[in-house]
């Protein structure tokens, strides 16, 4: 499964960063390309919470239904696709002195054949850029809201 790994470092407290990332309403504000992130279960946080998501990459809208498959408050959130675009994204939170470290992984599978190659040609050039923009947007959002 191809993917990207990144570490976000911020001066905001870990509990604040976790709460911000864990709140589905914030996702389109900081996650590159996400235009929709809507809960489809009554549970909107924690293990088992499920969401419909749309990520726009270039001219393509990638739809996925994501379920929280691992969740420990202030430590980890992992979402895995159960339908649509095959993706798994994980967020692991730790502290280093006054800093919060967020280790991010974004793994995806492309379909086979011509469709997969065409989608890969769209996705692969922007994945690294998308992760960097996501990192910058997340850091700015949590640092601004932590001081508010």
> Per-residue pLDDT tens for 101-122?
999 888 777 666 666 666 666 6
Give mean pLDDT, residues 90-96.
93
Q: Where are the domains of the chain?
A: 3-147
Q: Please give the CATH number for the structural domain made up of 3-147.
A: 3.30.530.20
Which tokens is 5 given? 């790994």
Starting at the edge strand found earlier in the chain, the sheet holding 60-72 runs 3-10, 99-109, 86-96, 76-84, 60-72, 50-57, 34-39
Q: Please tell me the total number of residues recorded for the chain in this structure.
A: 148
Question: Residue 2 above 60 pLDDT?
Answer: no
CA distance 133 to 113: 30
End-to-end CA distance of the chain: 40
Do residues 109 and 88 make contact, with C-beta atoms less than 8 angstroms apart?
Answer: no
């Amino acid at each position: 499964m191809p993917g990207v790994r990144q570490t976000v470092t911020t001066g905001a407290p870990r509990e604040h960063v976790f709460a911000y990332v864990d709140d589905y309403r914030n996702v389109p504000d900081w996650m590159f390309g996400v235009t929709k992130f809507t809960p489809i279960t009554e549970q909107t946080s924690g293990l088992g919470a499920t969401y419909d998501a749309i990520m726009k990459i270039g001219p393509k809208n990638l739809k996925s239904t994501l379920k929280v498959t691992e969740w420990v408050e202030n430590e980890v959130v992992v979402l895995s696709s159960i339908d649509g675009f095959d993706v798994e994204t994980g967020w692991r939170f730790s502290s280093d002195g006054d800093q919060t470290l967020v280790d991010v992984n974004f793994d995806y599978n492309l379909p086979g054949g011509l469709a997969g190659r065409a989608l890969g040609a769209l996705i692969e050039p922007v994945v690294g850029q998308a992760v960097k923009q996501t990192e910058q947007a997340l850091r700015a959002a949590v640092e601004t809201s932590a001081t508010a």
